[in-house]
Structures are given as C-alpha cells and as structure tokens.
Amino acid sequence: MRYPIDLHIHTNNNPHAYSTLEENIRSAQAKNMEVIAITNHGPALQDSPHWWSLMNMRVLPEYVGTLRVLKGVETNVVDENGNFDINQRIYDVMDIILCGFHTIEAYGDPRDIIRNTKALVNMINSQKIDIVVHMGNPTFPIEYERVIEEAVKNGVAIEINNSSLRESRKGSKPNCKKILELCKKHDCTISLGTDSHISYDIGEFEEADKLIEETGYPRERIINYSKENLENFLKMRKGKKRKVL
Ligand SMILES: [Zn+2]
Ligand SMILES: [Zn+2]
C-alpha cells in the first residue's frame, strides 16, 4: 500500500543528499503525501549540517499548501549512557526526534552487542527521542527483543527503514524481519522512513511494505498509516518528553 506520511527525509544540507528542501516538498506534493518530516543528521556525523542550520529550522512553515512539514533531526548515539549529539536549542525547535547508530568517532567500536543494547535502552529511557532508526544495521549488533521491550514501556517507536532494504546498510533485511516479528509479538509501534537522500524516493516504501506483508504486522498500527495515527503518537510523545539538559 501507499502510506501518506514519510518520517525520515534528508535535504542537501547534508552534502551526501542531493535535493533541496523545496524539491523534497514538491516531490511530496506531487505524490499526494500528507506529512513529511525533514530529518537531517545531528552534528556528530562527518557530513552533518552546521548546528545553526538545525536550530534555524524554526523558519520552516508548518504547512506548505496542505502538506504538513515536520521539523526533525536524526541524532546520533554518542555513548552508552543515553546521550545524543544535539543541544537544548535544537531540541526545542523539533517536532520529532529520530535517533540511531552511525559510525562516528565519539561512539567508537560498533561491535559490542552488550554495549550497543545498553546504549539504546538508556537512550529510550531518557525519553528524549521518539523513534529509533535503522536498528537492523548489522554493523551494530543489538539484542532486539530487549530494546523493543524498552520501547514499548516508554512509548518510543521503532523504525523500519526502506533504504536499509535497498542500497544502504547491506545485510539489514533478515534483521529487519526479526525486528518486525518482535514488534508484532510485543505490540510495539513502528514507524516507516524512506531515509530519502533524493526527492524521488520520498514515500516509496515498497521494500518495507513487502516485509510488513510477510510478517503480518498490522498496517493500521503503523504511525504512517494515517494522519490520525501520527497525531496521536506525537501527542503521546509530547506528554513524555524530558529536557535534554
Ligand atoms: Zn541514518
Ligand atoms: Zn537518515
């Protein structure tokens, strides 16, 4: 099925992405999308925008025509104690906060499954983030069930990343299937992101939707299924969020 919401999109404020904000918006409008989230990388990644660029997302309009544009950021886990790489000024501007592992110097060795699991559990527990992204990445082994149980307890969503099932993070697919099966078992909310680095990919969830079909995860439980689901999720998250500092 087509989903009217895409919660993970990059603009060329990250130089490894190729479309401007406006090109992304036009593409989403042409595809009759209802909501998109612009989620550029947090400052710890080599190719991140300057932190002013994230903070200044306050100038973005809430709607362009009928398209809702959420201000977001894809933060980096920087240690195992529940810390990420944005400050309070960026945090306060954002409608939605994604978080995940990327290969950054600050975090160091990605191969320790116990440390990775602890890092995500503490991050979720901190209530500073809304969605854990691309957890199926085999570069960062994780005890999925432990993290998913924590996500359920804290009302945090787990992302299925369409790009992980295509050109990025090779070897993610079997892990993503496992994650979806565990989310189904524990009734954990999932979110879909295309992780678009070019405007044409916005809203294209074909690979993710195939996996959803295979695992039988109920589509109507997915945040991206409807604007109503998204609004309920954001409202619930607002009630739980804590200050960064
Ligand atoms: Zn990422
Ligand atoms: Zn991304």
Tell me the CATH number at 120.
3.20.20.140
Q: Are 82 and 106 in contact (CB under 8 A)?
A: no
Measure Cα distances from 227 to 4, 181, 235 in Å. 8, 24, 12
> What pLDDT digit, counting tens, does each position of 89-148 carry?
999 999 999 999 999 999 989 999 999 999 999 999 999 999 999 999 999 999 999 999
Give the closest ligand to the alpha carbon of residue 16: 2
Distance (Å) from CA 74 to ligand 2 centroid: 6
Q: Would 83 be classed as within a structural domain?
A: yes
* C-alpha to C-alpha distance for 6 and 224, rounded to whole angstroms: 7
Kindly tell me if the per-residue pLDDT of 210 is higher than 80.
Answer: yes
Q: Would 245 be classed as within a structural domain?
A: no
Give the closest ligand to the alpha carbon of residue 100: 1
Q: Would 231 be classed as within a structural domain?
A: yes
Q: What is the pLDDT of residue 167?
A: 87
Distance (Å) from CA 9 to ligand 1 centroid: 10
* C-alpha to C-alpha distance for 150 and 142, rounded to whole angstroms: 13
Distance (Å) from CA 132 to ligand 2 centroid: 11
Kindly tell me if the per-residue pLDDT of 242 is higher than 90.
Answer: no
Q: How many domains does the chain have?
A: 1
Q: What is the pLDDT of residue 245?
A: 61
Distance (Å) from CA 99 to ligand 2 centroid: 9
